[in-house]
Chain A
Amino acid sequence: MDIFLQQIINGLVVGSIYALIALGYTMVYGIMQLINFAHGEIVMIGAMVTITCINLLVGAGVQLPGPALLLAGLLMAIPVSMFLGYSIEKIAYQPLRKAPRLAPLITAIGVSIVLQQAAMLIWGRNYRPFPPILPSEVHIIGGAAITDLQIAIIVLALLLMGGLFFLIEKTKLGRAMRATAQNPEVAKLMGVNVNTIISMTFVIGSALGAMAGVMVAANYDQAHAYMGFMIGLKAFTAAVLGGIGNIGGAVLGGLLLGIIESLGSGYLGDLTGGVLGSNYKDIFAFVVLIIVLVFRPSGLMGERVAERA
Chain B
Amino acid sequence: MNALVMKNTRNNTVLLAVLAVVLAVLPWALGGLFENGNSWLRAVDFALLYIMLALGLNIVVGYAGLLDLGYIAFYAVGAYLFAILNSPHLQAVLPAWLSHPPFLVMMVMAAVVAGIFGVLLGSPTLKLRGDYLAIVTLGFGEIVRIFMNNLDRPINITNGPQGINNIDPVQIAGYDFGRPIEFLGLTFEKIHLYYYLILAFCALIIFVSIRLQNSRIGRAWVAIREDEIAANAMGINTRNVKLLAFAMGASFGGVSGALFASFQGFVSPESFVLMESVMVLCMVVLGGMGNIPGVILGAIIVSITPELLRDIINPLQMAIAGKKVVDPENLRMLIFGLAMIIIMLVRPEGLWPSKRRRAELHPKTKGIALQEKDSLQDAERNHD
Please report A residues at the B interface, Cβ cutoff 8 Å. Answer: 33, 35, 91-92, 95-107, 109-114, 116-118, 120-121, 125, 184-185, 188-189, 194-195, 229, 233, 236-237, 240, 274-277, 279-280, 282-283, 285-287, 289-290, 293-294, 297, 307-309
Contact = CB atoms under 8 A, between A and B. Distances in A.
B288 to A, nearest CB: 11
B326 A106 contact: no
Contacts of A195: 380
B21 interface: no
Majority DSSP secondary structure for residues of A touching B: helix
B327 A121 contact: yes
Given A121-B331, A280-B150, A294-B125, A194 B139 contact: no
B249 to A, nearest CB: 16
Contacts of A111: 337, 341
A75 B39 CA distance: 49
17 contacts: A95-B345, A99-B344, A106-B282, A107-B341, A107-B344, A121-B331, A189-B383, A277-B153, A279-B149, A280-B150, A283-B142, A283-B143, A290-B124, A293-B128, A293-B136, A294-B125, A307-B129
Given A188-B383, A293-B136, A96 B337 contact: no
Contact of A92 (B127, B289, B334, B341): B341
B377 A98 contact: yes
Contacts of A184: 375-376, 379
Contacts of A240: 135
What are the 3 tightest A-B residue pairs by CB atom distance, in nearest-first order?
A: A113-B337, A99-B348, A110-B340
Contacts of B379: 184-185, 188-189, 194
Contact of A117 (B135, B138, B289, B337): B337
Majority DSSP secondary structure for residues of B touching A: helix
A283 B146 contact: yes
Contacts of B130: 101, 308-309
Contacts, number: 160
B376 A194 contact: yes
A84 B129 CA distance: 31
B362 to A, nearest CB: 12
A117 B336 CA distance: 10
B131 interface: yes
Contact of B125 (A91, A120, A293): A293
Contact of B136 (A92, A96, A107, A289): A289
Interface in B48-73: 65, 67
Contact of A297 (B127, B274, B327, B373): B127
A279 B150 contact: yes
B196 interface: no
Contacts of A125: 327
Interface in B272-287: 274, 278, 281-282, 285-286
Interface string B184-218: 00000000000000000000000000000000000
Nearest to B332: A117
Q: Kindly state the interface size class of chain B when it binds its partner.
A: 35 or more
A291 B166 CA distance: 38
A89 to B, nearest CB: 13
A100 B337 contact: no
Given A113-B340, A240-B135, A279-B150, A103 B285 contact: yes
A33 B379 CA distance: 18
B266 interface: no
Nearest to A286: B139
B338 interface: yes
Nearest to A120: B330
B348 A290 contact: no
B142 A308 contact: no
Given A96-B345, A189-B383, A308-B130, 9 more contacts: A98-B373, A103-B349, A106-B340, A118-B334, A121-B327, A277-B153, A287-B143, A290-B136, A293-B125
Contacts of B327: 120-121, 125
Interface in B326-384: 326-327, 330-331, 333-334, 336-341, 344-345, 348-349, 357, 361, 373-380, 382-383
B128 A110 contact: no
Given A103-B285, A121-B331, A294 B150 contact: no
A188 B380 contact: yes
A96 B342 CA distance: 11
B140 interface: yes
Nearest to A288: B139
B103 interface: no
A101 B225 CA distance: 13
A294 B282 contact: no
B374 A97 contact: yes
A95 B340 CA distance: 14
A105 B61 CA distance: 14
Nearest to A119: B330
B143 A113 contact: no
B174 interface: no
